[in-house]
Amino acid sequence: MAWLLQKQFCRTLIKGVGHKSFFELLSHNFFIQLSIILGGFTFGTLSFVLLFINVFMIFAIVFTLLKVISVWKVLIIVPHGMFELLAFIISFKIMMSIIIFIIKNIEGKKEKFDFLSLLLRLSLIIFLLIVAAFIETKISYQILLISS
């Protein structure tokens, strides 16, 4: 499905038009993670839609970049996404915990929510997103500039 994106999109990405700062990327990615977590209150519907959109965009961007720059440069750019992927997985786990908590309480099983676990997971998500935003703004962007 990545072929839907034109080379112009990729060239715009490489030239840095619309390049976001560290804090813009961090807040944007945190908002996505928070939306996935809060999707637990919709029994995962919102979370699955966000996950689908993000996975589609990741593959679309990578395949479009492969048409314009070399494979090794794409592989150098990708590592920040590994940190974002881990944050997605943790957000998904929190979302599932919310769904399980709601279902158990609907069934009449008095369950307490583990706020300490929630805070630890949120802290880990924030740490992962900080690392990802740093890599994306300081390393990945510079590689894209060199390749254009």
55-79 tens-digit pLDDT: 777 777 777 777 766 776 677 677 7
- Residue 128: pLDDT band by 50, 70, 90 thresholds? very high
The model's confidence at residue 2, banded by pLDDT at 50, 70 and 90, is very low
Q: Could you tell me the residue ranges of all domains in the chain?
A: 2-147
Q: What pLDDT does residue 121 have?
A: 94
Task: Answer yes or no: are the C-beta atoms of 74 and 62 closer than 8 Å.
Answer: yes
